[in-house]
Amino acid sequence: MSKLRLDPVSEQAIDWMVRLRAGTPDATLQERFNAWLAMDPAHAQAWATLQERLAGSFQTVRDLDRRVPGQAGEARQLLLQPHGSRRDALRVIAGLGLLGGGLWLGARSPLGDSILADLHTGRGQRQDFKLVDGSRLSLNADSTVDLYFDDKQRLVILRHGELVIQVAADPQRPLRVRTAQGEIRALGTRFLVAKEQDASRVVVLQHSVEARLFDGTTLNLQEGQSALLYDRQIIPVTGDQRHRSDWLSGRLNVLDDPLHQVVNALRPYSRGFVRVAPEVRNLRVQGVFPLNDPDRAFTALAETLPIRVDRYSPWVTLIRAR
């Protein structure tokens, strides 16, 4: 099934809705909005479609109360009051089905995660962010996170990819990073969290953290220690794993990992489709590879392992036995 998303003009219309609802529009903002509407008939059409589907009235929200009682309060607060963001708008609009199934399908995909995310990086892009509490967050390529910070909590939700966070101390609000498997809780520390196929990896770069599954299973990890969080168990990883954060410097440092994991780490930097044949997936790899030049990394792998790397175009790479 293809991964669908909103077209850019519809995204712009939602951006304008958020800006205009963020308070009393000043004359300059209104002039810019009018200029955007007049720029292209598609802009006016997208705006009209958005207003028609949202309706913009209390009667519409009362109708939503009957359709989806559990979400109508959230919709009312978002759509009929100021503040908010495009992510919030898209999330609620998609959840209420107001823009059709395409956006809902997209919202359940990694591409949809990027549309709805507070922070995200694209293919081949790494980026550092300073959070409102003073913590410093680094995202690896093709990563998405949501942020929930208020006077009671500091919560980072990793939807996709990999992060390193340097946590600003706040004893009243321990910072938590949540994944599909559980949470990592820290006070004044630095650690890595990565989403893998069926697990979440945590590596403690400084001090210590507590890893906790949703069923209450916990494990304390000290500096240099690592673990894989699965749905029902936490498995410690032997050896110092701090080298896994070398992507911050554009390097993939591999000590003894299977080939398929190495390729997975290179995929966010590679164009197109990369397939690893089953017979070579578990070959053990050691070495340091450049993330910003994945073709060079694949060539180096072919020189040190009994594999061949065939590139059929810039968009298709097959790795198989030599």
Q: Is residue 316 part of a domain?
A: yes
Please tell me the distance from the alpha carbon of residue 141 to that of residue 186, in angstroms, as a whole number.
Answer: 24
- Taking only Cα atoms into account, the Rg of the chain, rounded to an integer number of angstroms, comes to 23
Given this model, what pLDDT does residue 135 score? 94
- Same domain assignment for residues 30 and 51: yes
Given this model, what pLDDT does residue 44 score? 81
Tell me if 181 sits within 8 A of 199, measured CB to CB.
Answer: yes
Given this model, what pLDDT does residue 7 score? 66
Cβ partners under 8 Å of residue 195, min gap 6: 158, 159, 160, 161, 162, 179, 180
Given this model, what pLDDT does residue 35 score? 85
- Same domain assignment for residues 32 and 106: yes
Under DSSP, the state recorded for 169 is: P
Given this model, what pLDDT does residue 94 score? 54
Given this model, what pLDDT does residue 64 score? 43
Given this model, what pLDDT does residue 84 score? 53
Q: What is the CATH number of the domain that holds 204?
A: 2.60.120.1440
Given this model, what pLDDT does residue 91 score? 57
Residues of the chain with confidence (pLDDT) below 70: 1-7, 18, 21-25, 51-117
- Same domain assignment for residues 203 and 264: no
Q: Is residue 100 part of a domain?
A: yes
- Same domain assignment for residues 220 and 125: yes
Given this model, what pLDDT does residue 114 score? 53
- Same domain assignment for residues 196 and 263: no
Given this model, what pLDDT does residue 85 score? 56
161's tokens = 């990819």
The structural domain count of the chain equals 3
- Residue after which a domain boundary falls, among 116, 147, 173: 116
- Same domain assignment for residues 158 and 130: yes
**Domain containing 25: what range?**
8-116
- Same domain assignment for residues 266 and 158: no
Given this model, what pLDDT does residue 308 score? 94
Under DSSP, the state recorded for 126 is: -
